[in-house]
Amino acid sequence: MEVGKKTRDGEIVLQGIAASRGIGIAPVHVVARGFSAPEVYPIRDVDAEKARFRVALEKTKDQLRELQERIAGISGEEEGRIFEAHLMMLEDRAIVDRVNETIENRRQNAEHALYAVAQNFLEAMRRVPDPYLRERTADIEDVCQRVLRNFSHEEKQTNPDDKHILVAYDISPSDTATMDRRHLVGFATEMGSVNSHTAILARSLGIPAVVGLQDAVLDLQALMPAIIDGYSGKLILNPTEETLTRYRQLQSDKEKVRYELEAQRDAEATTTDGRKITLSANIELPSELPLVQNSGAKGIGLYRTEFLLLKGEQMPGEAQQAEIYTNLAKALSPDPLIIRTLDSGGDKLPVEPLTEPEPNPFLGWRGIRVSLDRPNMFKEQLRAILRASAHGHVAVMFPLISGIREVRKAKDLLKESMDELAADDVPFDENIETGVMIELPSAAIIADLIAPEVDFFSIGTNDLIQYTVAADRVNHRVADLYRPTHPAVIRLIKQTIDAGAQHGVWTGVCGEMAADIQLTPLLLGLGVEELSVGPHQVPRVRRAIRALSHAECAAMADEAIRTPLSFDVLDLSTALASKYYPELLD
């Protein structure tokens, strides 16, 4: 992979992996590992900024000397010497001079100059083989944080809420879900893959993203003008006027297509030969409700409650959950709100963190297993969902089901929750729809046995693929094996749909495949009745559905089922997509 390419005009092109489509044009904001980046802004008086740096250094030295004396008095001279190394770092002329040079060359505030110098140094240390040196990064981070806290912020001159492209070593899924999308035009990371949870959320939220940019954080200057190209996987720094003009035109062309798609927001997702598909939306946060409503989606097909339940040190109680679910149900009514119960590993539970990591968390204590093992916590969520069911069309869905016993135990706890609410005269829907996620091969294989127990299936293709082909989707070493069109995956999907149809149980897809318009012909042909995608993806999927003939898709899917190679299956589906909506394909 070509990491960086510098043109004669100073333009730098970093090539990564396209993770979420879109174009963003804005200055970069850099966040590296270790500690949070301070705000960055341009300065006029270099000498005054250097003086601010000196004052912060001296204040930090005084604090460290005082801390050293206090610790020495309590625990002895040896422990107090820990801070001698910290003081030596602050007096290291190489570091001090480098910060002053950075202030002068970049003409940016001293806090960010210190942060940039420290992060370059830290990244270099993290890459050395010596474990002792790698462990010293914590000391450097501690010292830098102390200095940053001692800066005066009176001279801040810019608005931190300006539009920006975020560049980071890595970004967690929860950080992605909670980003302020009013000001973020895209992000780029050194780590990650196209199938990571972070990339999936970026696509769902319509945030242009590039991942796998090796060493992008090193020597990257904050506020550099940049373009993020989520179509080709490029981050372009210091773009020339010619490049800017080209990308602004591309951005304009894509916007025209988007406006045309949004003009059809009230159109039914019906094929040319009359088969109606329910097109709903996936959400992570209640704040995404306006996006769902503006997209024209028919309700929410997957509300991931992990971001609500696990964002703080304490899980929200029944009343707080019920209020949030109820507000969503009322706003969506009469369209459905399908709430997936907690789908997380035990290591994420704030009330009961695991004392040691599991040897293989993907095959461990997660999903419905955690809920069934902690019935009080589970019933609290179930009662909250039931309370909301009195105010709209609410359904409940259980994740990571591997067999019938789990379904029946979950339904038993749901019945207990109903009895408890009834005893307190709390209204709820006694006929609330109950569904399960089909994301394990074991569940797909016995879908005919599970179907009589539930009202609907929702196929989570991300995990179904992963567990079927035994390839972690975020592991670059086996990413080539993670194929949505693997014949085994296609057969499991078809088997699930057919089993549901035999028992009057409808089947939807809420995984990444649902939003991939290259695969829309295949999913329709296999018999899927509902597709749930990110709000930003709804218009494209609607347009794809309305352009296709279900009969033609079914004939293609019959051929695909008999096709031995995943690439050939993909070609069959892509051929129909290219025939009927080439303008949507990149």
pLDDT tens by residue, 216-227? 776 677 788 999
Residues near 451 by beta carbon (within 8 Å), at least 6 away in sequence? 457, 499, 500, 502, 503, 505
558 vs 196, higher pLDDT: 558
578 vs 203, higher pLDDT: 578
Question: Among 291-300, 303-312, 366-375, which is the least confidently predicted range?
Answer: 303-312
pLDDT score, position 155: 44
Q: Contact at 8 Å (CB) between 247 and 23?
A: yes
For strands 4-6 and 12-15, give the pairing: antiparallel
For strands 234-237 and 225-229, give the pairing: antiparallel
Looking at domain 46-149, what is its CATH homologous superfamily?
A: PtsI, HPr-binding domain (1.10.274.10)
Is 462 annotated to bind ligand? Answer: yes
452 vs 265, higher pLDDT: 452
What distance in Å separates the CA atoms of residue 534 and residue 291, rounded to the nearest whole number? 9
For residues 17-35, give the mean pLDDT.
83
210: phi then psi, degrees, rounded to nearest 5: -130, 135
Query: Is pLDDT at 154 greater than 80 in this prediction?
Result: no
Architecture of domain 305-436 in CATH?
Alpha-Beta Barrel (3.20)
3-state secondary structure of 54: helix
Q: Contact at 8 Å (CB) between 19 and 199?
A: yes
Query: Is pLDDT at 346 greater than 60 in this prediction?
Result: no
What distance in Å separates the CA atoms of residue 283 and residue 293, rounded to the nearest whole number? 12
How does the average pLDDT of the chain come out, rounded? 87
30: phi then psi, degrees, rounded to nearest 5: -100, 130
pLDDT score, position 6: 64
What distance in Å separates the CA atoms of residue 265 and residue 262, rounded to the nearest whole number? 5
Residues near 54 by beta carbon (within 8 Å), at least 6 away in sequence? none
pTM of the model: 0.74
Token representation of residue 138: 């914590």
What distance in Å separates the CA atoms of residue 301 and residue 336, rounded to the nearest whole number? 7
Task: Please report which helix (H) or strand (E) contains residue 284, including its range.
Answer: none
Query: Is pLDDT at 518 greater than 80 in this prediction?
Result: yes
Domain positions in the chain: 4-35+159-250, 46-149, 305-436
Query: Scanning the structure block, which residue is given the tokens 């001159």?
Result: 157
Number of helical (H) and strand (E) elements in the chain, helices listed first:
25, 17
Q: pLDDT (tens digit, 9 = 90+) per residue, 30-39?
A: 776 656 678 7
Q: Contact at 8 Å (CB) between 115 and 37?
A: yes
The hierarchical CATH code for the domain 4-35+159-250 is 3.50.30.10
Token representation of residue 579: 């025939």
Is 463 annotated to bind ligand? Answer: yes
Q: Within 10 A of 68 (CB to CB), how many other CB atoms are there?
A: 19
Q: pLDDT (tens digit, 9 = 90+) per residue, 465-485?
A: 999 999 987 777 888 899 999
Name the maximum alpha-carbon separation found in the chain. Answer: 84
pLDDT score, position 522: 98
Residues near 334 by beta carbon (within 8 Å), at least 6 away in sequence? 392, 393
- Which of 7-21, 93-107, 154-168, 365-379 tops mean pLDDT? 365-379
Query: Is pLDDT at 414 greater than 80 in this prediction?
Result: yes
Residue 29 pLDDT class (50, 70, 90 cuts): confident
pLDDT score, position 213: 87
Is 473 annotated to bind ligand? Answer: yes
Q: pLDDT (tens digit, 9 = 90+) per residue, 98-143?
A: 999 999 998 989 988 888 888 777 777 766 666 555 556 666 777 8
Q: Contact at 8 Å (CB) between 322 and 282?
A: no
Is 139 annotated to bind ligand? Answer: no
Specify which residues 26 forms β-bridges with.
226
Percentage of residues of the chain with pLDDT beyond 70: 87
pLDDT score, position 303: 97
For residues 378-394, give the mean pLDDT.
98
What is the number of alpha carbons within 13 Å of residue 166 lying toward its C-beta? 27
Q: Would you name the residues annotated as active-site residues?
A: 197, 510
Token representation of residue 189: 């990371």
Query: Is pLDDT at 274 greater than 60 in this prediction?
Result: yes
Percentage of residues of the chain with pLDDT beyond 90: 57
